[in-house]
Amino acid sequence: MNNQSGTVISVSQLHKSYGAVRAVNGVSFEVHKGEVFGMLGPNGAGKTTTVEIIEGLRFSDSGSVTVLGMDVSKDVRSVKQRIGVQPQSPALFPTLNVREIVMFFSDLYSKSIPASEAIALVALEESSKVLVKNLSGGQQQRLSVALAFINDPDIIFLDEPTTGLDPQARRTLWEVIEKFRNAGKTIFLTTHYMEEAERLCDRVAIMDHGEIIALGTPRQMIDEHFKESAIQFRMERYPSPEALMALPGVTSTAEEGEEIIIYTNNIPAAISALLNLASASQTEIHDMSIRQATLEDVFLKLTGKRIRD
Amino acid sequence: MKAFKGVFIANYKQFVRDRGALFFSFIFPIMFILIFGWAFSDPGVATFDVALVDEGSPVTAGAIEEGLRQVIIDDNSVFEVEAGELEKSLDSLRNGDIDAVIVIPGDMDSSVDAHSPDNLDVYYDPSQTYNQQIMVPILNEVINQVDRIIQGAPVIINLEEHSIQTKELRYIDYLVPGILGMSLMFTGIFGGVPVIQQRQAGIIRRLGCTPLRRSMLVFGDLVFRMIIVILTAAIIVGVGRLIFDVQMVGNWFSLCGIVILGTLVFSCIGYLIAAFVKTEEGAIPIINAITFPMMFLSGTFFEVTNMPSFIQPVVDVLPLTYVSDALRQIMVDGVPLHSMGIDIAVMAGWTAACLAVTIRFFRWD
């Protein structure tokens, strides 16, 4: 790893097609040691395929992937010893209990942390004797996360780890991830929650149609795409996009469900003009909010979709 | 090795929590042994109640009665003889109270004295197969002997029986190895089900993220099943011995060898099914369609020599036929493994063929 000692994952010119569908189309990026790297994208963007090739679950058609200095296509078993994976669906033996599952997984690796430690990490101590099939969806998800930590990995891959968790459990998991990062480990995260990505990720890559369309820190991305702030509201009768664009300082507009978003670098002038527009066309404005642009806005601008779609 | 231990323990825990598996492996075979063992236990030789209707020939009647009383098998008289009147006796026969009515005509004594042939009548119910197959031949034999004694003819040729079996084969001796074979079949073929379940549930895919070799998952399960079948074999043979005094003549190592080989054959059939069937719901009916006919056609409960001849070729290719035959040879006759070349060759052939097709078509996801 000599001259790139800080790089733990290196992906270069990755291609993968399923029949005529190009799932991954020339993806290249690097993940640095000790960072939380986020991968965002709408469903079908090629995130999962990319991650699964890095994890050694799938083979690429072309391109190279190096993980911890090892070529995944050659040293897949050594790579798997040193990474932890939490896949999207937990998929565990239904008639084993929490502790037995954790013990089973620790037997699969040459080194592992104590089972009780892994269980405590995701606060499942009280359920350690409960069979997997009797756990709630959220508990299964937490167990699945615990299993990703069982081999004390250098890199951990979390695929939507907080989906289905209540806010309390989500916050707990965020703390686990931050603790893990503070220990110098690397986290590769895919998520649907922009708030989560903004809070946790040092850098994010946005994928769409099999390609990375943006990569950087969340702050960089927002600054790069939006000098403006966002005004978000509902209106009984939709004004034309031209009318909205004509408002003071407005640089772009977007629709998000029933809501309209306008991005402007002159908030006070834009608001008063907007209110005038509404009264002139005898309609009302509801639920108006003014906020800083977020990663969600960047995502919407770049992909034309909300991430949840 | 650590991974193997993990897989083995996981299989064990899942097995003991699976009531269906426990039932099929342990309770089901024992139930069959008890039910069939008791229902078809050899009745020894039944006693036949015979009414002797003497219409006026006391000498012949006395000789026949004496002849009947002398038929003794296993210290028991075969015939219970009573004198009776014709009409009453026939009524009793119709009611099923007695098994036969022998009518000795009044002119029999004089016919005997005159050495002129005469007939006596025997009434019985032929719908009772036991009567037709066993009682009538014995009656015939008794009458023949009485006939010879009366005529003073010497017995020239005497039949002396020699069994080529080292041991008398009772039904239960035939049944117990058959039930053991059946258990191996169920345990083996059902070994394909966890593979299908785990693939269907995404567990195999999930484990693909770990360094575990997927083949280890199957291998661990197979070894676990081997231990289960050896346990099953011990229980079946033990129950046979305790309750029905079934002897295990052969060598225990030979028995274990066939048990393991037999389980391997059927496990490979199970994996073959897993190579072609994606869902548990789809697999179970197929497994049933294979196992239940095979159970009957391979002579688990009854010998299949009585079946129509077009079935015989099917019987001759079924692996269970050979597994059960090998188990029977070991348990009943103590035949050593090296004398069962054909059985072992057929099992090995089935294993190799199923494995080859499985490897060609099996998909892990």
Give pLDDT tens digits for B46-95: 678 888 898 888 888 888 888 888 877 766 777 888 888 888 888 988 88
The predicted pLDDT at position A2 comes to 38
The predicted pLDDT at position A1 comes to 39
| Distance separating alpha carbons of residues A167 and A21, to the nearest angstrom | 37
Q: Is the per-residue pLDDT at A9 higher than 90?
A: yes
The predicted pLDDT at position A12 comes to 95
A53 Cβ contact list (under 8 Å, min separation 6):
A14, A16, A24, A59, A60, A65, A72
**ipTM reported for the complex surpasses 0.85:** no
For A238, which DSSP code?
Answer: P
Residue A89 contacts B where some CB pair is shorter than 8 Å: yes
**Predicted confidence band at A5 (pLDDT cuts at 50, 70, 90)?**
low
Q: Which of residues 179-238 of B touch A (CB under 8 A)?
A: 198, 201-203, 205-212
Largest CA distance in chain B: 102
Nearest to A96 among B10, B202, B210 (CB): B10
**What's the whole-model pTM score?**
0.76
For B46, which DSSP code?
Answer: -
Residues from chain A contacting residue B194 (CB–CB below 8 Å): none
Strand-pair partners of A27? A14
| Distance separating alpha carbons of residues B173 and B169, to the nearest angstrom | 6
**Predicted confidence band at A4 (pLDDT cuts at 50, 70, 90)?**
very low
Q: Do B13 and A108 touch (CB under 8 A)?
A: no
Residues from chain B contacting residue A85 (CB–CB below 8 Å): 209-210
Residues from chain B contacting residue A93 (CB–CB below 8 Å): 10, 14, 198, 203
Q: Given phi > 0 = left and psi -120 to 50 = alpha, else beta, which region is A27?
A: beta
Q: Is the per-residue pLDDT at A308 higher than 70?
A: no
Residue A225 · residue A293 · CB < 8 Å: yes
Q: Is the per-residue pLDDT at B129 higher than 90?
A: no
Q: Do B209 and A81 touch (CB under 8 A)?
A: no
Pick among B14, B19, B209, B214 to test the A interface (most A CBs inside 10 A)? B209
Question: At B51, which helix (H) or strand (E)?
Answer: strand B48-54
Q: Mind listing the pLDDT tens digit for each residue in A208-226? A: 999 999 999 988 888 888 8
Residues from chain B contacting residue A87 (CB–CB below 8 Å): 202, 205-206, 209
Kindly report the backbone phi and psi dihedral angles of residue A158, in degrees, each rounded to the nearest multiple of 5, phi listed first: -115, 120
**Predicted confidence band at A60 (pLDDT cuts at 50, 70, 90)?**
very high
